[in-house]
Each structure stands twice: as C-alpha cells, then as structure tokens.
Amino acid sequence: MPIPLFNSIASWWLKKRFYQMELFLKYPEEVQVELLNQLLITARNTDIGKKYGFETITTYESFRANVPINKYEDIEPYIERSRRGEHNVFWPTPIRWFAKSSGTTNAKSKFIPVSTESLEDCHFKAGKDMLSLYFNNNEDSKLFTGKSLRLGGSKSLYEDNNTFFGDLSAIIIDNLPFWAEMNSTPSNKISLMSEWEAKLEAIITETVQENVTSFAGVPSWMLVLLNRVLEKTGKDNLFEVWTNLEVYFHGGVSFNPYRDQYERLLPRDSFKYYEIYNASEGFFAIQDRNNSDELLLMLDYGIFYEFILMDTFGTDRQKAIPLWEVETGKNYAIVITTNAGLWRYLIGDTVRFTSTNPYRIKVTGRTKHFINVFGEELIIENTEEALKKACKSADCEIVDYTVAPIFMQGKEKGGHEWLIEFRKYPSSMEQFTVLLDEGLKSLNSDYEAKRYNNMTLNMPKINIARQGLFYDWLKTYNKLGGQHKVPRLSNKRDYLEEMLGMNGSFTGPMPGNRGVNI
C-alpha cells in the first residue's frame, strides 16, 4: 500500500475512536459505576472475590465498606501465588506477565500483574487513543508517512514458572500488534537489548537512516539519546537528521525541567509535545489538546478510580472518594481497581484536578516523594515549576536533581539541601539560589511562611553535581533507561548522602566555564 494512502486510512480509522470517547465525556459517573460492576462480576469467583464478598456488593458504598485499600505489601502474597502458576487468585483469566518495578521508594522489586485484558483494553487501547486525539487535533498530520522512534526499558523478559516478568515496555513490545510494530523503530531486537550504552549506539545506527516522524519515551532518557544523535551526526538540530519530525509523546517524569533543552534541539514552532500518564499498573491519562499541560483522565480502560485527599492521607481522617466527588485545585492520592486484578490499590502517585467537565488532571508527584519535615508540604510539582523559572531567568539548564531536608540541630534552623547536575551552569550560583527560593515561595504558601525572616527554614543550600553523577548512581542500581528515575524529594537524607559521597570533592566548573558536554 502506498505510504500516503496508508497515512490517510490510518488517520481516518483512529479518528473514529474519538467519537466513542464522547460516552465517558458525557456520562463519566455512569461509565465508572458500570465498569466497577463489571469488574466485580468478572472476579466474584476468584479467591479475592470470595474473601470480600464481591457477589453481594451492588453499590460503590458497599464496595468501599467491604474492600480495604491496599499497598503492594498487602497484595504481595497473592501475587506470589499467581507467579507460581496458581490461577483465579485475584483475576479469573491466567496472568502470564508481570511488570517488574523496583521504583524509587522501595529497593524491593514489585511484580505488577498484567492481564490479557489490561494489555488489550488499557495499554494498547491507550496507544490508539493517543494517536486518535493527536490526529483529531492535527488533521494535516503525516505521522504515518514515517516511523516513531520509541525508547523503552533496557531489559528483555524472563521466564519463571511459565510466567514472564520484566519492564512493562518489554511486555508491550513482546505483544505489540502488527500495525504498531510496523510503524516503530528501532527493531524489537534492539529495543530489548540489556546493555544501555550498546543499546544507544545500536538505536542511533538504525534510526538515523529512517524517516522518523515522532518520538516516544521518558524525557530524561530521550534527551540523552537525542544529544548523542547530534554528536554522532555532527548536525546542529534534529530536523537536520529527520526532516519530517512533528511530535514527541512523553511521560514518566515532568517535562518542565527539560522543555527549554528540547526546544533548542527542535527549533520549529510547529513541533508538538504530547504528554501521557502511564505506569506499570495501567494507562491513565492523555493530553487531549495541542499546547496544553493538562491530561484527560481516560475512564473506559478497565480502571475504576478513587482518590484520597492528601491533606488527610495517612491520618485517621483518610477517606477514599469516587471520581464524581473530587474538586479542582486539591491534591489527591490515586487508588485504582483494574482489569488485571488490582483491588483498591494505592499506586503512590498524586494528582490535582484542573477540570471536572471533562475530568482533566496534572500529575503533582508521589505520596512518598515530598518534604514536610517543617510543615512546608513541598511537592514535586512545586520544585519542577520553580526550577523551570529559575533556569529561564538564569539562562541555565539542568540534567537532574534531588532534594532532602537539613534537620534542626540545637539552635540551628532547618533547611533544604539540593544536589543539581547542570548541563549549562548559571553565571552566579548565589543568584540562581535566590531565584529558586523566590520561585518556591511564589508557588507554595506553606514554604513561604516557613521561610519568612528565616523563621524556620534557612535559604536553600545547593550542591553542584559532577557531570554524569545521577547517571552513575542509577547505573549502580542497574536502573538505566525506561521508567527509572532519580528520587526528587525525600523526607530522609539517605539518597542525598549516598550521591554526595559519589560526588566527592567536586564543587563546580572553573570560573567562566558555563558549558557542559554530555
């Protein structure tokens, strides 16, 4: 089939799905209630279903009363039974795949069940919807005249008791429908290479010869690849390598700290950025408008949503509420029930609703990744936005960062200690520190109150990380590529102390040197 004709047929087919989305846009509560009922009916004869009396649950209120909220530690025994080959434990169809995730909050590996239903009705459906929304907003798109450069995890699948585990990206690649595989690069063989450095070289060798029209991957790791592409090719920007580039689908970490660097690599106003929100547990939300920083919560992927107000999280007042009771402007922890057998599972992410008609969100951080030692309630959304503003004002660029508290000692006040790796250094660290501090004050009133006249918190302390520090730290834990990321915020100093130890006596560049080659 000629490429232009294939592009036209594919875009027409994907646009049809857009009209199907109108059902959950118009009737979100009804769609979610029906979905919950179907999940309960489907799993009523499983061990979990019998334990919690799914057969007798007929309303959301009875579901909330009968089924407890679970963390991974609570469901691990059931998952281990399933991994050993037992069926009908928490989902009626056999679970063959488990997405292995060590995360950054716990060194212990997690094995998240991935059912056939969640692959088809969640992950793959979301991939089509992402393209459907994009084509609906960009009718002149030529996306399918070329290929998508995908950058996933760096692990192949491993077999254990006739079940398979590995990165979610490896599971998805292993099960890709033909239409997705045909329009992707690099090949599956290269995508699943384990050694990160060798994989980067192989990706570059294969993809620079292709007509790449889009990128898909985590911003931090994609940036490493794209900078390496320019080094290898000697080109000034990526349009000189791939003329027909038009969009980057990104997720996994906040795009804010990296946006300026991408705009330098892709200096074309018409180039689009589309954010997605997915995880091992499911695919949750997609940017549905051009030039937006809000994500549309997808309500028909076999996932029933509940939310816990972060003001009450972890206290006696904690209470989960359904989607139709959320309010805009408030920070919530997400609880999900899925078609892979996760029942009222606390995934550890936090979101803020920007709209309830339709339901749009922004990802604000992690339930364990915040700093609240002094009542400042600093979340990742605050630090990402403050860094973006400070970098723009100071004309600098960052690679990565982590923050931890400086605990009070005697009469000494507390504070926040930062470790930042710069790609391009600010001319004055003093000025940059002030800009960052002022940005945090403007975004977080609790932080501002604690900083007033240095009442509780002193000015932030910033350490400069040597080139490649965070990369080396992740490599130490075999966490290069994919969804792996540096822990941004912590109430403890463990991560920071370890990285400072690896940083040695490095204090920054020689005076006048503002550039870093990566």
How far apart, in Å, are the Cα atoms of 291 and each of 150, 236, 409? 22, 25, 47
Bridge partners for 151 per DSSP: 217
pLDDT attached to residue 178? 67
Contact status, residue 234 vs residue 247, Cβ threshold 8 Å: no
pLDDT attached to residue 31? 96
pLDDT attached to residue 12? 60
Going by DSSP bridges, is the β-strand pair 184-185/331-338 parallel, antiparallel, or unpaired?
Answer: unpaired
Neighbours of 46 (CB within 10 A): 20
483 DSSP assignment: T
Question: pLDDT tens digits for 50-107?
Answer: 999 999 999 999 999 999 999 999 999 999 999 998 999 999 999 999 998 754 444 4
397: buried, middle or exposed (CB in 10 Å: 19+, 13-18, 0-12)? buried
What token pair was written down for 510?
Answer: 């020689």
Contact status, residue 437 vs residue 395, Cβ threshold 8 Å: no
56: buried, middle or exposed (CB in 10 Å: 19+, 13-18, 0-12)? exposed
Amino acid at 387: L
pLDDT attached to residue 366? 80
Give residue limits of the domains in the chain. 3-74+303-366, 118-286, 370-503
Q: Mean pLDDT over all residues of the chain?
A: 88
Give which of 277, 240, 211, 263 is closest to 388, Cα–Cα: 263
Has domain 118-286 been given CATH number 2.30.30?
A: no
pLDDT attached to residue 14? 63
Report how far apart the first and last C-alpha atoms of the chain are (Å, whole number).
42
CATH for 370-503 (3.30.470, 3.30.200, 3.30.300, 3.30.70) = 3.30.300
Going by DSSP bridges, is the β-strand pair 97-101/110-114 parallel, antiparallel, or unpaired?
Answer: antiparallel
Give which of 417, 423, 439, 431 is closest to 499, Cα–Cα: 417
pLDDT lower than 50: segments of the chain? 1-2, 5, 103-107, 511-518
- Any idea which residue has 């899925």 for tokens? 338
- pTM for the complete prediction? 0.82
pLDDT attached to residue 156? 67
